[in-house]
Amino acid sequence: MTPAPVRILMCSPEHYDVNYVINPWMEGNIHRSSQARAQQQWQQLNTLLAAQAHIDLVNPVQGWPDMVFTANAGLVLGNTVVLSRFYHPERQGEQPHFKAWFEQQGYQVHELPEDLAFEGAGDALLDRAGRWLWAGYGFRSLLEAHPYLARWLDIEVLSLRLIDKRFYHLDTCFCPLSDGYLLYYPPAFDTYSNRLIELRVPADKRIPVSEADATQFACNAVEVNRTLVANLISSELQARLEAQGFRVLTTDLSEFLKAGGAAKCLTLRLTETALPAAEPVAGVSQRLITLEGHLVDSNLLNEALDTIVEQGGSFQIQRLNLGSHRQNTSNVQLQVSAPTEATLATILSSLIDLGARLPEDSRTQVLLETVTQPGVAPEDFYVTTIYPTQIYHQGQWVSVSQQRMDGVIVLQDRDQTSPQAYCCLIRDLQVGDRVVCGVDGIRTLHKATQERSQEFSFMDSGVSSERRVELLVEQIAWELRRIKDRGGKTVVVAGPVVIHTGGSPHLATLIREGYVQALLGGNAIAVHDLEQAVYGTSLGVDLGRGRPVKGGHRHHLKTINTIRHYGSIAAAVEANFIQSGIFYECIRHQVPFALAGSIRDDGPLPETQMDLVKAQQEYSQLIQGADLILMLSTMLHSIGVGNMTPSGVKLICVDINPAVVTKLADRGSLESMGIVTDVGLFLSLLVQQLQRLGRPYLKPVPPLPVQ
Ligand code: ARG
């Protein structure tokens, strides 16, 4: 029995032209195509295909120049068609003409709800064995349209996210072939989609193309019975295809490339069949969320929508109430869609971290899973942020204590009446602990931006420029003094650069004068500070003169050795071996410090904690109750501290490297501030400023000790 001939729909290019720009290929090509050449190229394609298939024609309509691209008429399967809903108004006028043609031919026609963009077979390609439908989204078609395809066409839909705007339709970079082969350009898809493709198409069936082939529309090929027709295919790719038993025909379609289309776009396959589906599924998962706050002023809405799209999801705004005055908050209800449950969960947890809420009904009870292996969380654990968090358990919101980022939430409810929740590090989990999983019943509390910016009015600037440093220092000095006056807590995290840049006497002054309640650092800052106290050098360099001292390279080791001889920095201070400097002041004024070790440490000093888990614990104890943390030129220790500090603590990060500052100023710029400057200079300005604020608060800085 000979198989029924393949039928293909085409539309002659009488009215074809580039009249507008709706894809990057059209840029610079308006009215640059030749009508005569387009006619001739189209005819050539038509002739080639007519040898393989039966060609149906739909009449072109004046004013709709892109109607030649019949792939975008709709998606056909059997006797059913899902009509396109064009994303751009420039093509929406084609819809009724295609609809009329399908109706005339007796198809069962489905139309998507308004505003649900879907561009037909340009964005939906059947597996040639009819096992499933590949559907693209990201530019022209919405992920939300995919469940309709699954339902109406009774087929499994695999959603692929397009991420390169040159490949705005699935058929520009993806071409399923006979016998399970796939011709495609992998970089046009996001990581998740590539993984999905690799799961469904074994490696020996995947034919990835180069960028050069992709940009010649090699993937925009029409295959009928193992003959491929395309605009251009490199000899290398042709050889690969022929090795798999395909015949390759190329035909110049350069006039249509000017509009961003080639062979496949100019055709619509009308004879499509599928295997009977076990159950039609579009992997698409959806949830409603609400978001409230200064959505527009604070850019929160943008951030939320970007988060959804960047992570491969899609959204529909279902309700938006904009606050009418500056002080009023707005709220929005969004339907979030994602290609899988797992992607949706990732997106939702990012949204929860931004303050989004899942609808509150009885089903939002938090999901708890029990730890079965010490130090290992259940797979689906929720990762904490710096923001105050609550979980919904047995009809009430329970606040999470010891808030920090990158932990998990453990719920304790011994007597079933007074549930308690706290943040815990994965390594500290014990068998039997009940850990919050998934995304339901979790909310984070964010102060409305308006209040926050008033509270920390001076800290609304993010990273500063040099010219603003002085102004900022003035404000920090004021803040430090207020904290001191009310018996608050300022913690300093400092790196050895503080010493190398001459900042040590200034930091020592701050400690002596009661502006610092705890000091965190590594082995190096202590070694260099002590070396300076003993020899007047820092890593062998005389800071007063700015020159290396003869034999100075041994100073730091000799210092370490002597401190080790005394047994501790405190003992060395007692013995008058150390008579000045940062750590001298810490010992004298009982300011606690913690030194975290690292692989490059010399010594180490007796106080340096080389067990990093213990060092993290020491740090975390010292930052308890901090009002402000001043981070001075140490990326490593600052990031460590940032991770364990809950929101609400002001962070000031000073570093000469803008990248470090940006990284730390990133936790909601309203409560963190970055200053790009030399840290020695910063400290000297800060001390000067505190002196200016009033005598009772500061005595002048003593000169550097000279050996
Ligand atoms: N200018 C048309 C557009 O941007 C080209 C369509 C190409 N069609 C396709 N199936 N890729 O919509």
What string of DSSP letters covers 628-686?
Answer: EEEEES-HHHHHHHHHHPPTTSEEEEEES-HHHHHHHTTS-TTTEEEEES-HHHHHHHH
Substitution site in 9, 25, 42, 66 for ligand 1 pocket (most atoms within 8 Å of beta carbon): 66
Give every strand in the sheet of 227-230, ordered side by side.
222-224, 227-230, 247-250
pLDDT band at 305 (very low <50, low <70, confident <90, very high): very high
Q: Tell me the average pLDDT across 681-695.
A: 89
Average pLDDT of span 536-559: 82
- Is residue 72 within 6 Å of ligand 1 at its C-beta? yes
Give me the pLDDT at residue 629, please.
96
Q: Count CA atoms closer than 13 A to 695's CA, side-chain side.
A: 0
pLDDT surpasses 70 at 461: no
Q: Report the chain's mean pLDDT, rounded to a whole number.
A: 91
Question: From residue 505, how far is each of 115, 407, 683, 691, 697 by CA, in Å?
Answer: 66, 38, 9, 14, 16
Distant-in-sequence, close-in-space partners of 642: CB < 8 Å, separation ≥ 6: 405, 631, 651, 664, 667
Pick from 470, 478, 471, 505: nearest CA to 690: 478
Q: Which two tokens stand for residue 346?
A: 């990732």
The pLDDT value recorded for residue 247 is: 97
The pLDDT value given to residue 457: 37
**Residues with catalytic annotation?**
169, 265
Look at residue 57 and tell me whether its pLDDT is greater than 60: yes
- Between 341-353 and 300-310, two packed helices, what is the crossing angle to 10 degrees? 160
Residue 548's pLDDT is what?
81
Q: How far apart are CA 640 and CA 495, in angstroms?
A: 13
Q: What is the dihedral of CA 637, 638, 641, 642, to 10 degrees?
A: -150
What pLDDT, on a 0 to 100 scale, did the predictor assign at position 707?
46
23 lines ligand 1 (CB under 6 A): yes
Q: How confident is the model at residue 624 (pLDDT cuts 50, 70, 90)?
A: very high
**pLDDT of the residue at 544:** 75
Expressed in angstroms and rounded, the spacing between residue 69 Cα and the centre of ligand 1 is 6
Q: How would you classify the pairing of strands 628-632 and 650-655?
A: parallel
Write out pLDDT tens, residues 390-424: 999 988 899 999 999 999 999 998 877 889 999 99
CA triplet 283, 134, 87: central angle to 5 degrees? Answer: 90
In angstroms, the CA 667 to CA 386 distance is: 8
pLDDT confidence of residue 267: 98
What structural domains does the chain harbor?
A: 7-15+34-269 (3.75.10.10), 284-359 (3.30.70.2690), 362-449 (2.40.420.10), 452-693 (3.40.50.10690)
Q: What is the pLDDT of residue 277?
A: 67
Assess contact for 441 and 391: CB atoms under 8 A.
Answer: yes
Is pLDDT at 456 greater than 50 in this prediction? Answer: no
The model's confidence at residue 696, banded by pLDDT at 50, 70 and 90, is low
What burial class does residue 363 get, using C-beta atoms within 10 Å of its C-beta: 0-12 exposed, 13-18 middle, 19+ buried? exposed
**Residue identifier of the C-alpha nearest atom 1 of ligand 1:** 259
pLDDT band per the 50, 70, 90 thresholds, residue 528: very high
Handedness of CA 332, 335, 340, 345 (dihedral sign): positive
| pLDDT category of residue 530 using cuts at 50, 70 and 90 | very high
Write down the pLDDT at residue 363.
Answer: 58
Q: Is the CB of 269 under 6 A from ligand 1?
A: no
pLDDT number for residue 181: 98
Overall average pLDDT of the 627-635 stretch:
95
**How far, in Å, CA of 482 to CA of 469, rounded?**
20
Say if ligand 1 is within 6 A of residue 120 CB.
no
What is the atom index within ligand 1 of the atom nearest the CA of 122? 10
Which tokens go with 435? 């850990």
Range of weakest confidence among 242-246, 283-287, 508-512: 283-287
Please report the atom of ligand 1 found closest to the CA of residue 120. Answer: 10
- The 10s digit of each residue's pLDDT in 93-137 is 999 999 999 999 999 999 999 989 999 999 999 999 999 999 999
| Nearest-atom index, ligand 1, CA of 259 | 1
What is the pLDDT averaged over residues 207-216? 98
